[in-house]
A = this chain, B = another copy of it.
Amino acid sequence: MPSTTDPRTRRLSRAGHDSSVDSAHGGARDHAPAPAHPAPAPDGAQTGDGTVRLIDADGVRHPDAAYDRWVEDVDHAALRELYEDMVVVRRIDTEATALQRQGQLALWPPLLGQEAAQIGSARALETDDFVFSSYREHGVAHVRGIAGADLLRVWRGVTGAGWDPHEARMAPMQVIIGAQALHAVGYAVGILADQETDERGEAPGSGATAGAAPTEAVISYFGDGATSQGDVAEAFTFASTWTAPVVFFCQNNQWAISEPVSLQSKVPLVERARGYGMPGVRVDGNDVLAVLAVTREALHRARTGGGPTFIEAVTYRRGPHTTADDPTRYRTSAEIEHWEARDPVSRVATHLRSEGALDDDGEARVQAAADAVAAELRAGVTTIADPSWQDVFADVYAEPHAELEAERDAYARYLDGFATTEGGGR
């Protein structure tokens, strides 16, 4: 992928775009608590005015005076790469869902429908940037280089983290809704502190030059539901008043399990940003190019001392919340069809084909790449070793802990008892 765009292009975001308190994005709600889940309104309200979109649902590229410059370098070849990324992660998702059905995984939260939001944002990152995500960001993890077994390890129930967070520069998935937003802010504050340490001539590993603006940045992913959690609000405050180099990337996929986004907010989520003193931008989350553009802009702001940005990527979770969920209980097939027509993947194929930049051979190559990744995934899951009982006690503490070691040893002696009795237990 091309690297970040020219820092001189630093500009203001669309934080100030017009919207009024009374125009609820989920349609008007009466003042009853919890009416029976109003479905999100179709296109207009959800991706209406003020939403950045560069490639529409029909694959048509629209010029954008503000955002084109952030993707000037994305030629056909680069766009094909983004397309391939999306096809691949969709295949990963399908494959993992199948593996769950086959009993190879305990659970899987599908990303189907959110490929553009994840690929577009993750491809905007530099290698050194750090990611704090939720549990559904398999696409982001894929871009971070996490593949095969590592992606599935957690969902098979063998570990709490499938990869080394420092190697991947991505924290393990976070289950507690919103908690990771604060971790991202802390990491970003660490980047600032490193710079100051650098200035004192005692660099603890940051790549920043003395006195320069931060060159690393942090991104935190969370959902529309997460915006209701106090932790996320606190993260906004801390990031804003400390001007921390962090991007809050909210995938508004319209649902928090069975709860529509209208239960979390009466106004578009992007409105939150301004009240915390940071720019907010709303983007068509099913448009990979637009997502890339707005994320690049936000990261650039972070790197150049401009502080945090809130991005609302308007997208849709087309699958169940997890493989354990039954979405037929709370939403209609008409709604799903509505969003299928706004598919993030096919619109890029259409666009590339219309530009003569993708033919059947090219498509076949992309599918072959996806096949290969899928095969690697299937093969990978079988290589995941079951943990041993010792792992129950391992790594609870970083430093020696004689008491827990003694507890482990007592349990070992208990287990040994079965070896000496025939049959091994009752």
User: Quick one: CB contact mask for A262-299 with B, threshold 8 Å, 1 for yes?
Assistant: 11111100011111111100000000000000000000
Copy count, this protein chain:
2
Partner of A266, one of B34, B234, B240: B240
Interface residues on A, range: 35 or more
Given A241-B265, A279-B21: A230 and B228 interface contact (C-beta under 8 Å): no
User: Complex: how many Å from CA A263 to CA B15?
Assistant: 22
The reply on A189 being an interface residue by CB < 8 A is yes
Most buried by B among A16, A24, A196, A266: A266
| Residue numbers in B under 8 Å from A241 (CB-CB) | 29, 262-266
> Are the CB atoms of B16 and A192 closer together than 8 Å?
no
User: Complex: how many Å from CA A298 to CA B264?
Assistant: 22
> Are the CB atoms of B272 and A271 closer together than 8 Å?
no
Partner of A274, one of B21, B31, B34, B193: B21
The reply on A388 being an interface residue by CB < 8 A is no
> Are the CB atoms of B237 and A265 closer together than 8 Å?
yes
Expressed in whole angstroms, the minimum distance between the Cβ of A160 and any Cβ of chain B is 25
Expressed in whole angstroms, the minimum distance between the Cβ of A172 and any Cβ of chain B is 23
> Are the CB atoms of B264 and A275 closer together than 8 Å?
no
Closest to A32 in B: B192
| Residue numbers in B under 8 Å from A32 (CB-CB) | 192, 196, 242-243
User: Quick one: CB contact mask for A408-421 with B, threshold 8 Å, 1 for yes?
Assistant: 00000000000000
| Residue numbers in B under 8 Å from A273 (CB-CB) | 275
Expressed in whole angstroms, the minimum distance between the Cβ of A141 and any Cβ of chain B is 28
Selected A-B contacts with CB under 8 Å, 13 pairs = A29-B243, A30-B243, A31-B242, A31-B305, A33-B193, A227-B237, A233-B233, A240-B265, A241-B264, A265-B276, A266-B276, A266-B278, A267-B277
Binding site for B on A (CB under 8 A): 15-16, 20-21, 24, 29-34, 189, 192-193, 196, 227-234, 237, 240-244, 262-267, 271-279, 305, 307
